[in-house]
Every structure is written in structure tokens, then in C-alpha cells.
């Protein structure tokens, strides 16, 4: 009887796994999300098109005012998953917090300006007042410095960086108080819609510094413990998000649904934003993203020093999640 019961149990388990995910019990996920970011667009798309039900995912979101609030929520146990960058994950792992990263987007900003000709060389930044979104340890700013150093230009000594929030920098650039601004992709798109151009494309900077593919910028971040216990749940979530991305990239109706979330009403600027977004949909393999991140990490470690990476001069191979 015990053998028969075991066979029946195994058969029932196999049958349950064979059911469509929508028929299985929905897997719950607590997500901490910035209300206006691309992660929020994708989650709204997943709900609007029933992708959550199709993959058997039941997610609840906590809206954040800043990215820092998301980090606090994740580490404090208030969220299962957030969106952040692999450099932060690497630093946290070095400090003893076992976080893991899975690629979300390669969408990258640019140095935006009006003064042609384009593209600029590092020497074109000399003496310029450059707005930098983020802080002095912002990844794009450090990469820009490394790129300039390869051309013999020390930006810290020969340019004038101004660190501030992206909206303020965009406003100051439009008012002529800055010569250029290193902006995130959503604000670069807004500026392009106002007639500014990509003076320096950060994708070109990454290639010049050794990346073989578009470098992954943002990713889903969760704890190692959560990953160990929720392999199936994460796979279903990733599948849902991939479908949502593809809809936003390729389906006009889907993108129109989330357009109000962007805060942009001008059709021309919305089209530019969508182009930036589509460009960021991951297409390389996980191994390729890991290899490029490892190469760029060495550059960042050299420019940012221990203040940025701590004692780790090479990227911890455990940073990227391996399903």
C-alpha cells in the first residue's frame, strides 16, 4: 500500500506540474517599484494583458519615491524583489549581504547637448559645465571618466561636473545653465524631443572600454535565500516580464496604454522614448552579460577605487543569478 500511495503521490505531482501555470496556484511576489519607471510600465502591461494569470504570478507592488528606498525594503525584508544595478549587488555581496541579480534592461542614457558637431570626443568636454545624474560614484560618470582618460583627458581636473537629480539637470540644460548633461535614458529621450542630441552615446563608451555587447544596466535583485527557495516562481516571473517587454516594444496599443505613466504627452518624444526602451530589451545570453560586466567592473574598480567597490577588484561570479 505504501508503494502504491507513493506512486499515486508522484503521479499527482507530475500532473500538477504539467498543468498550465494559470491553473496552478498563483505564486505571490512582493515587488518594490518606482511608479514612473520602466519596471512599472511592464508590470502594468502584464496586468492589462493577463500575463500574470497566464504565468501564475500574483504580485503586489509597493511604490517607491527613490531607488534607495527599494534597497532598504529588500534588505529589510519588506520586498521580495526590486530593480537595481549589478554594481550595487556586487558591493553588497562584498559587505556580506548575499544578493543576486538577473538582467532587466540595457537601456542607457547619453551626454546630451546642443553644440554640434556630434559625436563629441573627450577633448570637447574640457572646460564644460557637465550635469551628472546621480552622484560622484554614478556608474555612467565613472565610465565617462575612464573613456576620457584613454584619450588623455582627466575630466575631474579639466571639466566642471554638477551632480543633481535628472529632472533638475534637464531643466538647467534647457535654460542654458549647463553645457551638457549626462542623463538616464528616459530624460535623454525627453531632451532629444526638445532638440538636444546625443553628444556622447554611453553605449559607444562601453564598447570603447571593452564591452562586446550592450552592457546590462538594470536587473531584478533578490536575496540568495529567496532564489534557493523560489526557482519556479522566479522563472514564471521572468517569463511574464519578457512577454511584457516584447509587447511594449512591438505592440502600439500596449505602449499607448502605459504612455500616461511616462508623463510625456508629445507624440514625437514618446516615439523617441519607445526607441530608447526597445533598444534596451535584452538580447544577449546570460554568459555574455556576465563577461561584459566582469570586464567593465575592472574599469570601474580602477576609476572608483575602494570607495566604490570595497576590497573586491574583480566581479564576484555569484552576482548574476544562474537559474
DSSP alpha helices (H): ranges in the chain? 2-18, 38-48, 51-55, 67-75, 86-94, 139-150, 155-158, 166-174, 185-193, 202-208, 224-229, 231-250, 252-262, 267-279, 286-304, 306-309
- Res 16: pLDDT: 40
**What are the structural domains of the chain?**
2-106+216-309 (3.40.190.10), 110-208 (3.40.190.10)
- Res 210: pLDDT: 95
- Res 14: pLDDT: 39
Cell numbers that stand for 282 in this block = 535584452
- Res 225: pLDDT: 96
Q: What is the pLDDT along the chain (323 residues), one digit of tens a residue?
A: 434 333 433 343 334 444 444 445 678 999 999 888 999 999 999 999 999 999 999 999 999 888 889 999 999 999 999 999 999 999 999 999 999 999 999 999 999 999 878 999 999 999 999 999 988 989 999 999 999 999 999 999 999 999 999 999 999 999 999 999 999 999 999 999 999 999 999 999 999 999 999 999 999 999 999 999 999 999 999 999 999 999 999 999 999 999 999 999 999 999 999 999 999 999 999 999 999 999 999 999 999 998 888 888 899 999 999 98
Amino acid at each position: 500500500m505504501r508503494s502504491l500511495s507513493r506512486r499515486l503521490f508522484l503521479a499527482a505531482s507530475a500532473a500538477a506540474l504539467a498543468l498550465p501555470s494559470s491553473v496552478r496556484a498563483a505564486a505571490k511576489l512582493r515587488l518594490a517599484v518606482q511608479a514612473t519607471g520602466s519596471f512599472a510600465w511592464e508590470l502594468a502591461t502584464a496586468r492589462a494583458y493577463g500575463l500574470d494569470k497566464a504565468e501564475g504570478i500574483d504580485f503586489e507592488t509597493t511604490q517607491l519615491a527613490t531607488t534607495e528606498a527599494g534597497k532598504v525594503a529588500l534588505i529589510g525584508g519588506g520586498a521580495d524583489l526590486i530593480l537595481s544595478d549589478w554594481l550595487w549587488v556586487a558591493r553588497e555581496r562584498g559587505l556580506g549581504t548575499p544578493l543576486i541579480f538577473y538582467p532587466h534592461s540595457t537601456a542607457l542614457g547619453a551626454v546630451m547637448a546642443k553644440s554640434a558637431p556630434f559625436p563629441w570626443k573627450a577633448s570637447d568636454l574640457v572646460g564644460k559645465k557637465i550635469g551628472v545624474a546621480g552622484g560622484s560614484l554614478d556608474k555612467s560618470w565613472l565610465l565617462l571618466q575612464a573613456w576620457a582618460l584613454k584619450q588623455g583627458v582627466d575630466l575631474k581636473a579639466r571639466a566642471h561636473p554638477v551632480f543633481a537629480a535628472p529632472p533638475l539637470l534637464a531643466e538647467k540644460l534647457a535654460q542654458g545653465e549647463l553645457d551638457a548633461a549626462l542623463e538616464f535614458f528616459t530624460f535623454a529621450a525627453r531632451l532629444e524631443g526638445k532638440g538636444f542630441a546625443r553628444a556622447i552615446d554611453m553605449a559607444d563608451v562601453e564598447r570603447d572600454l571593452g564591452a562586446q555587447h550592450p552592457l546590462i544596466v538594470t536587473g531584478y535583485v533578490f536575496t540568495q535565500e529567496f532564489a534557493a527557495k523560489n526557482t519556479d516562481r522566479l522563472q514564471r516571473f521572468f517569463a511574464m516580464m519578457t512577454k511584457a517587454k516584447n509587447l511594449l516594444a512591438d505592440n502600439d496599443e500596449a505602449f499607448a496604454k502605459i504612455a500616461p505613466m511616462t508623463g510625456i504627452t508629445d507624440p514625437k518624444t514618446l516615439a523617441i522614448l519607445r526607441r530608447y526602451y526597445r533598444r534596451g530589451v535584452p538580447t544577449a545570453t546570460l554568459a555574455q552579460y556576465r563577461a561584459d560586466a566582469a570586464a567593465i567592473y575592472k574599469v570601474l574598480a580602477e576609476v572608483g577605487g575602494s570607495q566604490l567597490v570595497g576590497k573586491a577588484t574583480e566581479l564576484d561570479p555569484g552576482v548574476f543569478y544562474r537559474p
